[in-house]
Amino acid sequence: MNPPPSIEPAAPSGADLYALTNRLLENVGQVVLGKTESIKLAVVALLAEGHVLIEDVPGVGKTLLAKALAASIDCSFRRIQFTPDLLPSDVLGSSVYHAPSGEFVFKPGPLFAQVILADEINRTTPRTQSALLEAMGDRQVSVEGKTYPLEPPFIVLATQNPFEFEGTYVLPESQLDRFMIRLRMGYPIRAEERRLLNNHRGGEPVESLTPVLTADDVVQLQQGVRRVRIDDAITDYLLDIVHMTRRTEDLHVGVSTRGALTLYRAAQSMALVSGRDYVVPDDVKSLAVPVLSHRVLGKSFLQAGEFGAAEAIIRDIVDRVRVPT
């Protein structure tokens, strides 16, 4: 007698996925006060299978955002404090001699977690920074001729201080391109800063957070992002923005095809986080600056790290491109 055919479980409904994202946003928002947009962008990157670069002056909540997001998901989490003397093997792992067997056994490094906080990533040397490239791009690590897959979901939340701070190394373009979204926290408004002080009266609030999503929930959300519809008119609108970055006289280097694809995926994720199964022009507009500004090189800011001018140019391009109706 033939066994009954297996039945594939039904994909979660849009309402179920939206409820999951709301649960995550609200949990992180309990401790990261007054930063709704930054939290939303971090979640957009997580669901779009991207990575986040958080840049700002010390002490404005960069590490707190990363820790709160990690604490809200029932995943393995490791924090890597980047320093000038950190070596690639300190991040990736290395082989250790095992006396009983007489063989070398690979001992995974902290990069083999699902949520990685790369704290002050620009305080380490380019050699160590590059140890993250394969992991961020291909979700795998190659060490001593062997390739090790990384368990999904995998996200790197990196923080960095502005380049004018002493003791920092410029992130190379190839490293910057691996980050889906670059965001700044900024100083909180006075009322939110007052709430923050009160919240810390009894200790560190992030330590009281409990996970509200499992790793499987996050994977389901990532799969849901890929099912979000994008009309051809929206795709053309996105490409109009990308192609204008390549034609404008203000930029030496415009957005690459990988950058266009990254914006496409991020727009799908933004739609899901907003409770829709289709992308609207505002999804593309709101993401153009955080997704594209670190992927271009302008004529007036040849020194790496000066992103203010790039943001202004991208914003001006978005304002000039006709929005589909």
Instruction: Please report, for the domain that includes residue 72, its CATH number.
Output: 3.40.50.300
In a domain, 20, yes or no: no
pLDDT attached to residue 232:
96
In a domain, 281, yes or no: yes
pLDDT attached to residue 152:
92
Q: Which of these, 43, 28, 53, lies nearest to 206 by C-alpha position?
A: 28
Both 297 and 257 in a single domain?
yes
In a domain, 207, yes or no: no
Residue 285 has pLDDT above 90, yes or no: yes
Reported confidence tier of residue 3, pLDDT bands at 50, 70, 90: low
Both 46 and 175 in a single domain?
yes
pLDDT attached to residue 7:
52
Q: For the ranges 13-17, 149-153, 181-185, which has the lowest average pLDDT?
A: 13-17
Both 78 and 133 in a single domain?
yes
Both 180 and 236 in a single domain?
no
Both 139 and 280 in a single domain?
no
Both 119 and 243 in a single domain?
no
Averaged confidence pLDDT in the chain: 87
Residue 273 has pLDDT above 80, yes or no: yes
Domain boundary among 185, 200, 215: 200
Both 61 and 164 in a single domain?
yes
Number of domains in the chain: 2
Both 249 and 319 in a single domain?
yes
In a domain, 278, yes or no: yes
Both 170 and 263 in a single domain?
no
Q: Which position has the higher pLDDT, 310 or 260?
A: 260
pLDDT in tens, 171-209: 877 788 899 999 988 787 888 878 878 877 777 778 888
In a domain, 210, yes or no: no
pLDDT attached to residue 130:
86
Residue 105 has pLDDT above 50, yes or no: yes
Both 56 and 144 in a single domain?
yes
In a domain, 214, yes or no: no
Q: Which of these, 274, 239, 278, 273, lies nearest to 259 by C-alpha position?
A: 239
Both 130 and 248 in a single domain?
no
CATH for 288: 1.10.8.80
In a domain, 223, yes or no: no
pLDDT in tens, 39-88: 999 999 999 999 999 987 777 778 889 889 999 999 999 999 999 899 99
How buried is residue 79: exposed, middle or buried, by Cβ count under 10 Å (0-12/13-18/19+)?
A: middle
Reported confidence tier of residue 284, pLDDT bands at 50, 70, 90: very high
Output phi, psi for 174, to 5 deg.
-65, -30
pLDDT attached to residue 166:
60
Question: Residue 172: which domain range?
Answer: 27-84+112-200
Q: Which position has the higher pLDDT, 14 or 163?
A: 14
Mean pLDDT for 16-36 is: 91
Give the C-alpha distances (Å, rounded to integers) separating 91 from 19, 82, 251: 35, 9, 35
Domain boundary among 161, 180, 200: 200
Mean pLDDT for 89-112 is: 87
User: Is pTM, for the whole model, over 0.95?
Assistant: no
In a domain, 222, yes or no: no
Q: Which residues of 138-167 are buried (b: 16+ CB within 10 A; e: fewer)?
A: eeebebeeeeeebeebbbbbbbbbebeeee
Both 246 and 154 in a single domain?
no
Specify which of 64-68, 296-300, 301-305 reaches the highest per-range mean pLDDT.
Answer: 64-68
Question: Using CA atoms, how far apart are residues 93 and 279, in angstroms rounded to an integer?
Answer: 41
pLDDT attached to residue 305:
46
